[in-house]
């Protein structure tokens, strides 16, 4: 039930961002409640989460780490692959900037500057196929004519990936904080 509520809240947040009839950059800004957890427990749990996930893959890079102010900021990336020969040049990764602000019993997670970058071996070709900032609700002003088709293909893959990965990230962060708070027993 909690996962369903969290998914509903996430989809509502994305839907609200897309309501203005305008085109907006894809982003997520949400507050995650962690009942009975202090600011330090949340900070320690999130730091542990980054360390554990960086061991598995090096997608996460902390650039600002301030324990006193309860601030974590950096970048993460997700690989995107097209197996279709027509769209194979879109294969690459999505880079996302994250900002986490920590308070007593909660933390605010903001994911923004979601950017598609092609890893096509030919450098000039990669620049051409990198779609840049990911928008929802349509096309950004610089995408016109024939460029709409590859941008649309990129959106079709990146936006659902962003939703799934963000929800997974939130759930695993919260679980890590809760399990870390219950393991604060120094009697070993």
pLDDT in tens, 132-165: 899 999 998 888 898 899 999 999 999 999 999 9
- Bridge-based pairing of strands 106-118 and 135-136 is unpaired
The predicted structure's pLDDT at residue 19: 46
Q: Which domains does the chain have, with CATH numbers?
A: 2-14+26-175 (3.30.530.80)
Is the CB of residue 41 less than 8 Å from the CB of residue 68? no
Distance CA 116, CA 170 (A): 22
The predicted structure's pLDDT at residue 176: 87
pTM over 0.85: no
């Amino acid at each position: 039930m909690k996962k369903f509520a969290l998914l509903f809240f996430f989809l509502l947040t994305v839907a609200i961002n897309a309501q203005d009839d305008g085109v907006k950059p894809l982003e997520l800004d949400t507050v995650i409640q962690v009942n009975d957890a202090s600011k330090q427990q949340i900070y320690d749990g999130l730091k542990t989460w980054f360390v554990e996930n960086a061991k598995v893959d090096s997608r996460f890079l902390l650039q600002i780490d301030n324990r006193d102010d309860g601030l974590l900021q950096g970048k993460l990336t997700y690989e995107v692959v097209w197996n279709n020969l027509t769209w194979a040049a879109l294969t690459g990764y999505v880079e996302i900037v994250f900002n986490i602000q920590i308070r007593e019993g909660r933390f605010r997670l903001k994911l923004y500057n979601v950017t598609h970058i092609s890893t096509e071996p030919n450098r000039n070709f990669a620049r051409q196929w990198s779609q840049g900032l990911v928008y929802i609700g349509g096309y950004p002003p610089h995408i016109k004519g024939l460029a709409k088709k590859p941008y649309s293909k990129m959106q079709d893959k990146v936006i659902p990936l962003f939703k799934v990965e963000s929800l997974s990230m939130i759930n695993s962060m919260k679980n890590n904080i809760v399990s870390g708070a219950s393991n604060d027993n120094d009697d070993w």
